[in-house]
Structure formats: C-alpha cells, structure tokens
C-alpha cells in the first residue's frame, strides 16, 4: 500500500461530503455569476465567455453537467454495491437498493442526454406536446419505481433512508416546477442569477441526499472516511460485469436511434448515446484505481489507464473541440480512445491474457468506421469498444478482491494473536 500513497492527493483525504460540497459550491457560484456575464446567453459567444460556459450548471455538455451526472452514477454504483452486500434473506432491503440504483442510473442518463428537456420533441407524435403533458411518459415509470423503492425502504427498521430518498425526489419535482416558472414568468435581470442558482442548488441538494443515503448505509458508514474511498470495492466492479454487458448490448442501439432523432435540437443539449461510453469508461478508471491501490508493481501503468479513461469519458460529454467549434456533436478525439486504451491496458502484464487479446482484437477493426463522415456511426461503435475496455480492465478484479479480503482477515486476526501472547 505504500506505493499507492503518491497516487492519493491530499484533497482526497478530506471527508467525502466536504469534498463533494467544495465542488458543488464552486459550480453553483459559477452558475450564478455566469448568468450576469454579458452575452452569456448569446449564440455568438466568443473568447472567455465560451470557456466560462464550461462551469455553469444551467447548460449541458460541460464540466458542471459532467460532475452532476457522475455523482448520480456514483449513487447508482454504491446502491448496487449495497444490493450485493445485503442479506439475501431480507428481500425488501435488497429490492430497495436495486430500485435506488435503477433510479439514479436513469437520472444520470437524463442529465447527459437532456431527455426531459426534449420530451415535447420525443412524444409530440403521441399528441403530448405540452410542456408538462410531454413529461408524463417519463414521469410514470419513475413514479412506479420510486413508489416500489420507497415501499421497500419503509419496511426497513432504519427509516432514515426512506425520508432522505423521499426528500430528494420532492426536491427534483420542485425543479420541474421551477423550470416551468422559468419560461412562464418574465424575470427581471437582477433575479436571473438568483433564480438559476436556486434551481440548480435544489437539484444538487437532491443529488447529495441520494449520495448520503448510499454512502452512510450499513457497511459504508465506517469505511468511507474520505473522498478516495467513494470508489466502489473490487467485488462490486467485478459483480457488475454481466450487468454492464446486458445493459450495453440491450441499449446501445435504442440510445443511438434516439440520439439521431433528437439531434434536430442541439441547442446546448446533451447526446443520449454518449452516456454508455461515459459510464463504461468511468467504470474502467474506477477499476484501474482500485487495482492500483492493491498492486504495487504496476501502479504507474494502472494510473495511466485511469487517467486515459477519465479523459476520454470527459470528452464523450464535453466534446473538447467544441470550445473552438460549438457546432460539433462529437470530437475527433474519440477516434483515438480505443487504440490508446487498448495499448495502455495490455501494457499491464496481469491484463495481458488470451481472452483480453481476443476481445480487444475483435473490436479494433471497428475503429475504421469512426473515420467515415457520419455523426451516427460512432454512437453504435464507441459503446461496444468501451465495453471491451471495461471487460479487459476488470478481468483481474476478482483476484484483487480476494487479496483485499485476505489482508482484512490478517489485520483482524493479528491484534488477537498479539493479545493472546
């Protein structure tokens, strides 16, 4: 573990909630200030205004949106971890965690894909073209899953999770009302920043409440002392492999089709199909991170995999080249993702296995399709390639989890042995 100390910056040693709210506070302040920047809402942004737009929560496809969507993904992962850890004989507790995991994943997709903002475009052919009526097809499944989840949480002895989750979704519901008032009321210029600050702050509080529910529950309460410990355990990431494969293979085509349909509305909106590579690459850097914490010999190579996966996951949402050309839907940097990630992964001897060579070798020819002059093909190629990277990086995690359990057992038995002597 000594070799890992240099991988752990001091700010990661802060309590997880103070680290989260430090970032939240920065983006919230930037959002309020940006609302008063001259020409901040203009389509002809230039110079520093174009860069400042990366930090406002009021827009999509920027750093602020990435942060909020990442927090929701983390809630989903930690809730799934609690699902795996829960006593199998207590079905209502396990089901409550699974329900929360599904809800948080759905909110993360909405955050990156701007689904509810495009509800009128998506459901106008159903005759639902009103600002509120168009939200019904999205609100109904959320309501059903939330009701199921809350009912299961109410059956648990500790009902604090019930009240916190209910409070979070009440806050999310109030955001929908605030978005309606945004367009229904003529706001004076001095109130613009205050209004958007309250709206986005409400959403951040709701996200934090869900994150607190997932972090503070049972097995996490005594373990997650710092921001560095928020990353799920090796066993969780390994257990996610079949789930992630199913989600990716069953959804990459529908998300690609929906993205092609909604691209008529690209005004600062996100791309639904970008969520899958974002999710898979985030899981990959998390896997590399926990692997590095347990692996001394190849820690630097694993850190490179971690940084590359984080960089390319950022590019999926931000599209770095949009800073110079805001009309871009995707970046040319995405063409380099798979070759770079594959080489970095196979540079680690423990990942250099025959199954990994076969999987990555089969996916490499798909890279040719990324150079075709089409904005749609990458939405079908990148999820599959990202899935291959995730599968390769997580292939050694069962061994890492076993090593961690052995270390924990030794740390528990050692004091008792010393006491007996």
Kindly tell me the sign of the dihedral angle through the C-alpha atoms of 345, 350, 352, 358.
negative
pLDDT at 401 over 80: no
The mean pLDDT value for 121-127 works out to 73
- Compute the residue count for the chain: 421
Rounded CA separation 54/64 (Å): 7
The mean pLDDT value for 204-209 works out to 95
| Range ranked top by mean pLDDT from 36-45, 72-81, 126-135, 153-162 | 72-81
Rounded CA separation 62/73 (Å): 16
**CA geometry: angle at 232 spanning 226 and 234, to 5°?**
120
pLDDT at 241 over 70: yes
The mean pLDDT value for 314-334 works out to 69
Token output for 126: 């159903």
Give residue 333's pLDDT.
81
Give residue 321's pLDDT.
61
Rounded CA separation 33/108 (Å): 25
Q: Which residue has 């709210």 as its token pair? A: 21
More confident residue, 267 or 255: 255
Residue 348 sits at φ, ψ, to 5 deg, of: -95, 115
Give residue 89's pLDDT.
62
Rounded CA separation 103/80 (Å): 11
The mean pLDDT value for 148-157 works out to 90
Q: Which of 26, 35, 65, 19 is nearest to 203 (CA)?
A: 65
**pTM of the prediction?**
0.87
Mean pLDDT of the chain: 82
DSSP 95-120: HHHHHHHHHHHHHHHHHHHTTGGGHH
pLDDT of 71-123, one tens digit each? Answer: 999 999 999 999 988 877 678 888 999 999 999 999 998 888 878 777 777 77
Give residue 408's pLDDT.
45
Token output for 364: 């490499």
Give residue 197's pLDDT.
92
């Amino acid at each position: 573990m000594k070799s890992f100390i240099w991988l752990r910056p001091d700010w990661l040693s802060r309590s997880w909630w103070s680290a989260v709210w430090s970032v939240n506070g920065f983006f919230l302040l930037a959002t309020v200030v940006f609302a008063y920047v001259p020409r901040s809402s203009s389509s002809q942004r230039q110079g520093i205004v174009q860069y400042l737009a990366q930090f406002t929560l009021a827009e999509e496809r920027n750093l602020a949106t990435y942060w909020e969507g990442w927090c929701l993904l983390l809630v989903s992962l930690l809730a799934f971890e609690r699902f795996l850890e829960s006593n199998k004989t207590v079905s209502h507790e396990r089901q409550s965690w699974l329900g929360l995991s599904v809800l948080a994943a759905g909110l993360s997709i909405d955050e990156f894909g701007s689904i509810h903002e495009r509800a009128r475009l998506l459901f106008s052919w159903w005759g639902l073209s009103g600002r509120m009526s168009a939200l019904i097809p999205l609100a109904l499944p959320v309501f059903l899953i939330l009701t199921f989840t809350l009912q299961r949480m109410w059956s648990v002895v500790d009902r604090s999770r019930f009240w916190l989750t209910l409070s979070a979704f009440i806050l999310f519901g109030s955001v929908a009302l605030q978005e309606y008032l945004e367009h229904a009321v003529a706001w004076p210029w001095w109130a613009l920043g205050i209004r958007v600050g309250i709206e986005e702050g409400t959403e951040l509080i709701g996200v934090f409440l869900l994150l607190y529910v997932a972090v503070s529950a049972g097995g996490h309460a005594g373990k997650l002392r710092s921001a560095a410990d928020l990353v799920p355990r090796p066993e969780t990431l390994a257990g996610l492999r079949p789930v992630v494969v199913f989600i990716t293979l069953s959804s990459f085509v529908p998300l690609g089709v929906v993205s092609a349909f909604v691209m008529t509305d690209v005004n600062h909106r996100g791309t639904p199909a970008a969520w899958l590579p974002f999710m898979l690459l985030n899981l990959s850097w998390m896997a590399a991170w926990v692997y590095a914490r347990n692996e001394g010999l190849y820690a630097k190579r694993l850190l490179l995999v971690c940084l590359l996966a984080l960089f390319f996951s950022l590019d999926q949402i931000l599209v770095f080249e949009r800073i110079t050309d805001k009309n871009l839907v995707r970046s040319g940097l995405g063409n380099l993702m798979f070759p770079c990630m594959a080489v970095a992964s196979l540079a680690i001897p423990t990942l250099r296995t025959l199954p990994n060579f076969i999987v990555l070798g089969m996916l490499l020819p798909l890279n040719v399709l990324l150079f075709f002059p089409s904005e749609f093909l990458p939405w079908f190629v990148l999820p599959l390639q990202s899935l291959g990277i995730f599968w390769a990086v997580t292939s050694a995690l069962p061994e890492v989890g076993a090593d961690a359990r052995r270390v924990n057992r030794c740390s528990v038995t050692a004091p008792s042995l010393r006491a007996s002597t």
